[in-house]
Each structure stands twice: as C-alpha cells, then as structure tokens.
Amino acid sequence: MLEDAERQALRRALEIAADPVVPLGPNPRVGCVLLSPAGEVLAEGHHRGAGTPHAEADALSRATVPVTGATAVVTLEPCNHVGRTGPCAEALIEAGIHRVIIARRDPNPVASGGIQRLREAGIDVVLDVPDDLAGAAAALNRGWEHGLRHERPLVTAKIALTLDGRAAAADGTSQWITGPAAREEVHLLRTTCDTVLVGTGTARIDHPALTARRPDGTLHPRQPLRAVMGIGEAPTLPAIDGAGEEIRLLTRDPSAALAELFDRGARHVLLEGGPTLAAAFLREGLVDELILHLAPTLLGAGRPAVADLSITTLTDRLDLDLVDVTPLRSPEGPTDLRLTLRPRIRPSPPAN
C-alpha cells in the first residue's frame, strides 16, 4: 500500500515521463521522483531520448542534498545493463536509495533484471501500485512494448464515416463528415503516434498536412513523421515550419512499409489513408486498433470507409471487439461517436 506522498510522486513521474518535447520511437518514456524519508520531493528526472541519461540518473544528478535512505518512484523497472549509459539499478544502489517503487516491469529481456539486483542489494522494492497508475504506466509505452513483442510498430487505423459506412459522398467530397470535436481529437491522437501514414491517393486528392495542431491552429510540440506509402505519383506534402519530416515508402506491401518504419525507429503508426490503405492493412492482419469517428448522418451512396477485404462469405468476416464508445460533442456541429475497437483473434482450428 502506497502512502499519499508516494502516490502523488508516481503521478508526477508519469506526467514528466510524458513530456511532449520528448521524442517517441525506439526508447521507452520513463519518469523518476526521489522522496525523502519524510515524503518530501528531493528531485525528479525523466528520459529524453536515445543517448540521454535515464530517468533515475537524471533525477540523481538533480538532487541538491544527499539521497541516502530516500525512496525512488519510477514508472519502469530500472535497467540492469550497460548500453549508452550505465545500469540504473547500480546507480540507485550506489546512491544509497532505501526503497524503490516501480509501476511496471521492463519487458525488454536485455534491460530487465533491475528488480532482482535491487533486492539482492537489500533495497525494498514495491511493485503493488494502484490499478489506475499501473494502467497509465502501461499506456505510456504501449508502442514501444508492442515493438519488443512483435518487431513491428503498433498500428492504429483512424476512420471517419457516416452511419451507412461512407467515407465520402458520390462526388468525392469528404470534408467534413465529422464535427470539430472529432477533428480536434485526431490532432491529439497524432501527438501519441510517432508516424502518420497515408497512401498516394490520399496525398494526391486531399493534400493533407499531417501535422498535430492545437485548437488555436498552432503546432503541438510533438510532431509525427509524415509518411506516404505507394508507388503511384503523389505530390509533396505541404511545407510547414515545424512539421514532421516527410518520407516516401515506395511499396504497396503493408509488411514492407512497417518494416521500413520500424527500422527508422517508429513504434506507433497511425493510418489516416483512405479505404484502400485501411483494407490493405486489415487484410494482412496488421491493424491492432481501430478508432472510428461515426457521424450521425447518411449519404446513401459514395466511397465506402473500407475497401474490399476479399471476404466472400459471412463465416470469414472480420469480427471486432468493442473497447470503448464515447460521444464527441461539438457546440457548432453534430455529436459524433468515437468507437475504439480491436480485431478479434480467431482461435486456431483443432489439430487433426
């Protein structure tokens, strides 16, 4: 059971770990807060990307008083290996830390082992944290953890559609199917992903900026990589000061595109292309999460939200698990629904 000061310190560690100026990608986001035996904050630190001090080392370097007997509150298990920096577990031991509260174990087999090392040194290690804080620690690095397990980025597909499943009217117009609240949420969603991916058709027809903007139109501090996939002709994306880098993926193969992005350090890809791109990834089983913005309107005809999935019979349908439904209310527009879904994994047929 954590003390109030320890819970507050963990909330703060999660907050600083999510600093919007810290780049996403192949390194986990981690925060650390050091508490005195009386529960006073001595220092805090967080990891700022590859090659920078880890959160624990950053916090220790910022302490202006001795930390002997202090408690370290961290969002991720301290590492126990030598990489670009030394092992954080050893740094905590050498500093005289008495207690370490850890919100999440490190799933990386190369870096894990910190818990065992701390306990071997006689340090009290606490892993039992409130569910909401444990969940926040898991969500903080879900793209990074997905990459460790699957060696490809986590893929979220975002689709805006009408009640009858249309992404555009018969004449091709699609702006705007959903209201301002849904569009604002898309910009927030882009800040949680390190790459936004569209196809050449979307780039050619919509000329998207693919930036993350605040409601006042200014750019968010964290901007995603802007990727266009396909071998067809596509114009250069709009040149905007502060926007993310633009790259072309000269392939129609979703697996090849993800492999190239993974090699570049991408760990969470947001699909914002049209129905063809969405269908290509869905057919290959490469969509991990769907976010549907459902507008309370009908078109009756027009472009479908998802193109042909090569499904010819009902028994082959792609079932989805509904994770969340949230109304998105706009004072000057319709109340859309945001549906969060995950493709259901079909059980393997029994062996003969």
**Secondary structure element (H or E) that encloses residue 101, with its range:** strand 99-102
Q: How far apart are CA 346 and CA 43, in angstroms?
A: 48
**H helices present in 158-265, as ranges:** 180-191, 200-206, 254-263
The upper half-sphere exposure of residue 302, i.e. CA atoms within 13 Å in the direction of its Cβ, equals 20
DSSP assignment letter at 109:
T
Q: Which of 6, 40, 44, 56 is catalytic?
A: 56
**Secondary structure element (H or E) that encloses residue 144, with its range:** helix 142-150
Residue 243 structure tokens: 């926007």
DSSP one-letter string for 244-281: PPEEEE--S-HHHHHHHHHHTT--EEEE---HHHHHHH
Q: Report which residue type is found at 94.
A: E
Q: Please provide residue 180's backbone torsions phi and psi, each rounded to the nearest 5 degrees.
A: -60, -35
- Is 145 labeled as catalytic in the residue annotation? no
Q: How far is CA 349 from CA 108, 283, 309, 342, 345, in A?
A: 31, 19, 22, 21, 12
Task: Answer whether 46's CB lies under 8 Å from 52's CB.
Answer: no
To the nearest 10°, report the CA torsion of 129, 130, 136, 137. 10
The catalytic residues are 56
